[in-house]
Amino acid sequence: MKCDFTDSLLQGYFDGELSGRRAAEFERHLQHCDHCASELVDLDWLSGALRLTQLYVPAPASLRRKIDAYVHPKAPTAAPSQPLLWHWLAAAAALLVVAIVLWRVSPELRSDDYQAELAGEIVDAHLRSLQPGHMTGIASNDERVIKGWFDTKVKFALPIRDFAGAGFVLNGGRVDVIEGRSVAVLVYEHNGHPINVFMWATQEPDTSPRTGSRQGFQWVDWRKNKMEFCAVSDAFPADLELLRQLINSSV
Amino acid sequence: MSELEPEDRMRFEQLVLPHIDAAFNLARWLLRGRTDAEDVAQEALLRACRFIRGFHGGDARAWLLQIVRNTCYTWLEKNRPMELSMEFDEEIHLQASATPETLAISGDDRGRLILALETLPPRFREVLVLRELEGCTYKEIAAITSLPIGTVMSSLSRARRQLYSALANSSQKGAVREV
């Protein structure tokens, strides 16, 4: 006999996800519904089988060691000698030179590193979005509809514009995860090429655009007015630059 | 490779590293093999370490598992794209990972259970693993998978049905119960 209680309610009860009131209501129902009672027995049996079989696979020691080696890189051990004073002085002078050089170049080095990591993540996210059904969380070309959808999901104001007049058709948006934080993505299409424009709030100062390519995809990244943007596509670099200028003029 | 700042290292070790088992377990079940799981879990953990500043407090396990999941899917897209296009109702049967571990036990109930779990499509397998093995709440699963709670619940329900019927069909229900 099919009962009125939906499958999700039964499951919610089993997983302890119902409120006290809902759970009590379900328990009253359970007293005279054989269908739900037997479903509950099955759920319990399955859960028990999974638990008893000990399918949880903990991390192997080799993985722990590799992570530990990354977190605590071993400093090269110095020869145990008794250096003379001038040895110390020479070492101190050398250190000073190294420190000065590092101080002058490291912001750029670090920034390049960051850029490479970021480009990798963005291109990965772009690839994921090309899977069927993964491009948009909201499929629409209506700026207001997309804005309303994003309002409940991201905490920053987005420049949402359709540039269909210039050949960049707004197809919708979604929320993606880059570097462990949620970012907004606007999805455009230009001559059949999908273009993902990732955007998130930042505290960093404005930058001029940086571009690159990775796995056959072009990306351009820039910051303006406390927002960082990264557009990625297999479209021509010149087209991507055109879209960047259109977006930039609307920020 | 840039040096790790002491503060970042401390946060990573205190907040993220305690969940290394959860990270490996999820990767192992999504990729259906220990060797691939170790590589991908390592990549995900190093990524989490480099981006620890992007973690602004909250549930560190969910934050890490989100990164692990994304890294696994990216890996699957590059290496086994067929698995991801698989739909639940399609009559495609994945070949379970032929590790020495599974081969040695394929004759018993544990093997049958592993096989049944591994032949679920990844989207259903992950919610089941997160719920039944990792003990995540619906809300946590929704955060990790970026799916709405309703979808989490329906995926979980279908995964359970599929797994149940796979096991019941092998008519070993009683035997598994006694393990």
Paired tokens of A63: 């993985």
Express as a percent the part of chain B with pLDDT over 90: 52
For residue A209, CA distances in Å to A221, A223, A230, B6 come to 5, 8, 9, 31
Task: Kindly list the structural domains of chain B, giving each domain's residue range(s) and its CATH number in brackets, ordered by start.
Answer: 1-85 (1.10.1740.10), 86-179 (1.10.10.10)
Question: Angle, nearest 10°, between helix axes B149-169 and A34-52?
Answer: 80
Distance in Å, alpha carbon of A82 to nearest chain B alpha carbon: 29
Q: Helix or strand or coil: residue A18?
A: coil
Residue B172 predicted with pLDDT over 70: no
Q: Cα(B26)–Cα(B32) distance, rounded to whole angstroms?
A: 10
Q: Which residues of B touch A43 (CB under 8 A)?
A: 160
CB B20 within 8 A of CB B45: yes
Q: Cα(A233)–Cα(B58) distance, rounded to whole angstroms?
A: 33
Paired tokens of A155: 């905490």
Predicted ipTM of the assembly: 0.82
**Superfamily classification of domain A114-250:** MucB/RseB, C-terminal domain (3.30.200.100)
Distance in Å, alpha carbon of A84 to nearest chain B alpha carbon: 31
Q: Helix or strand or coil: residue A246?
A: helix
Q: Cα(A206)–Cα(A202) distance, rounded to whole angstroms?
A: 10
Q: How many CB atoms lie within 10 A of CB B11?
A: 18
- What's the pLDDT tens digit per position in B155-166? 999 999 888 887
- What's the pLDDT tens digit per position in A113-130? 667 778 888 888 888 888
B64 compared with A95, residue with greater pLDDT: B64
- pLDDT at position B82 is 83
CB A30 within 8 A of CB A36: yes
User: Residues B9-28: what's their mean pLDDT?
Assistant: 95
Residue B5 predicted with pLDDT over 90: no
- DSSP string across chain B: -PPPPHHHHHHIIIIIGGGHHHHHHHHHHHHTSHHHHHHHHHHHHHHHHHTGGG--SS-HHHHHHHHHHHHHHHHHHHH-HHHHH--TTS---PPPP--HHHHHHTTSHHHHHHHHHHTS-HHHHHHHIIIIIT---HHHHHHHHT--HHHHHHHHHHHHHHHHHHHHHTT-HHHHHT-
B155 compared with B100, residue with greater pLDDT: B155
Q: Cα(A25)–Cα(A114) distance, rounded to whole angstroms?
A: 54
Q: Which residues of B touch A179 (CB under 8 A)?
A: 51, 54
Give me the residue spans of the domains in chain A.
Answer: 1-75, 114-250
- What's the pLDDT tens digit per position in B106-124? 456 778 888 889 989 899 9
Q: Cα(B12)–Cα(B26) distance, rounded to whole angstroms?
A: 19
Report the mean per-residue pLDDT for chain B: 82
Q: Helix or strand or coil: residue A51?
A: helix
The highest-level CATH class for domain A1-75 is mainly alpha
Pick from A62, A109, A131: CB nearest B38: A62
- pLDDT at position B170 is 59
Pick from A17, A67, A175: CB nearest B20: A67
Paired tokens of A9: 């309610």
Express as a percent the part of chain B with pLDDT over 70: 79
Question: Angle, nearest 10°, between helix axes B149-169 and B138-145?
Answer: 100
Q: Which residues of A touch B162 (CB under 8 A)?
A: none
Please give the residue of chain A at the shortest CA–CA distance from B8: A71
- Rg of the Cα atoms in chain B: 17
Lowest mean pLDDT among A212-216, B46-50, B122-126: A212-216
- What's the pLDDT tens digit per position in A15-71? 999 888 888 988 998 888 888 998 899 899 888 888 878 888 999 999 999 999 999
Say yes or no for a CB contact (<8 Å) between B153 and A47: no
Q: How many CB atoms lie within 10 A of CB A233?
A: 22
Say yes or no for a CB contact (<8 Å) between A63 and B132: no
Q: Which residues of A touch B118 (CB under 8 A)?
A: none
